[in-house]
Amino acid sequence: MKFTPPPSAEQQLETQVNQLKQQFKRRQFPKKNAPALPLDLLVTISGCTFGLHSQKDGRLVLKADKAINFDKGVNVLRSVSYIAGARDSVSIAGWDWRPMHFKKDKLYLRPVAPSDL
């Protein structure tokens, strides 16, 4: 019988961290399960107000509402670029959506999973 030494403290810590990451890792749900949202929906993310522009194949396109954001004094381009670059996900209508990219005042999102998981 071959002797194997017990794992070092570093290896034990790595395995425990990996197990915890797997437990907390969110599963991605199929985009077909994403809810269909009404076109008159207004969403505020990081102080910037968006209206629903379109929803196709589960993907969501939000367009910044210029009138509301102008009244609030919000820099739309700065807010949209912050959301697309720094946010992992945003919650809209009980689902988490991942920002993919942005163009001018439009923000493109894809569904990840229901928020309550």
pTM: 0.72
Q: Between vectors from CA 13 to CA 4 and to CA 89, what angle results, nearest 5°?
A: 140
The gap between the terminal CA atoms of the chain, to the nearest Å, is 46
Banded model confidence at residue 22, pLDDT cuts 50, 70, 90? confident
What is the structure's pLDDT at 19?
83
Amino acid letter at 57?
A: D
Q: Could you tell me if 35 and 45 are in contact, meaning their C-beta atoms sit under 8 angstroms apart? A: no
Residue that has been written with the tokens 């993919």 in this structure: 100
**φ/ψ (deg, to 5) at 41:** -70, 130
Q: Could you tell me if 61 and 80 are in contact, meaning their C-beta atoms sit under 8 angstroms apart? A: no
- Please give the average per-residue pLDDT across 109-115, as a whole number: 86
Q: Name, in order, each residue with C-beta under 8 angstroms of 31's C-beta and a sequence gap of 6 or more.
A: 57, 58, 59, 110, 111
d(CA 90, CA 108) in angstroms, rounded, equals: 12
